[in-house]
Structure 1
Amino acid sequence: MTRPPSRSRRDRHGRGLRGRLVPDGVPLARSRAERFDDLVLDAVEDLERRWERELAGVEFAVEDVPWVEHTSPEEVVLDADVLDDDSVPLARVLPAHRENGRDVPPRIIVYRRPLEIRAHDRDDLADLVRDVVVDQVAVLLGRDPEEIDPTG
């Protein structure tokens, strides 16, 4: 005779209920990736106010780490559209192109982990993210970063 599955299996060893320790909606409940996304969105929103027409079709994306083919560090050659620090990509611009008969808009990709590693604290990370986004927008628009963000 088999017993029906029990609903109390989660408290099997007397550890209590498992789950989130903080309620949704408080800042502590947000993950590092979500907080990083917010920093990128803040930087993009500031730039879109000034460059609305030029950035109208541009997509912004965040990836955890850059994808690099398995090659030795001496063989890694980065394109001109990649912002790097000691051959580690921090961000990348993918220009508009045509793929499988459809138009693909330009895209700026910001890599989260390389930037987080270089930042000392949250304020430093916010400044670094803003600088990287400004530099990549400048590359995409063919302008100087000082022209894109004179306050930076």
Structure 2
Amino acid sequence: MSEAVYQEPLDFGALLRDWRAHRRLSQLALSTESGISQRHISFLETGRSRPSRAMVLALSDALDVPLRERNVLLQSAGFAPTYPDTPLDAQGSQVFHSALAALLDHQEPYPALVLDGRWNLVSANRGALAFFGQFVDIFDSLAAIGSPTEFQ
């Protein structure tokens, strides 16, 4: 029997504040970019006001939030996700996989890696396996290094 796992609902205000901090924007700068008043952005972040669907999308555009994360913002504001979430191994992704394989092959003999949006190793060419394999196991080491999002 499987256990049901309870998840706390995501707080839109906290997510908005995190994205604004990640992009290193003040409320005033975000206000200028999005066309939404600074006071209203403050009210959204503190939970004093609720956003409309159009406002969530406008703020996402101004913050250049990736599509998958825009769905998270929409859900945290109480709206249905807009953008499809297609897994990498889906049937329609075969074109992209073959393009990435060709890209890796054309980089031979130089090392090349393919990373996903969370800095997980997806694929590597023979040059990378030979080069990095001399020192470490790249599949284990890349996970230990972690995501360099603090440098972005």
- When you count helix as a share of all residues, which structure comes out higher? 2
TM range (shorter): under 0.3
TM-score, with length taken from structure 2: 0.22
TM-score, with length taken from structure 1: 0.22
Between the two structures, name the one with larger relative contact order (CA 8 Å, sep ≥ 6): 1
- When you count strand as a share of all residues, which structure comes out higher? 1
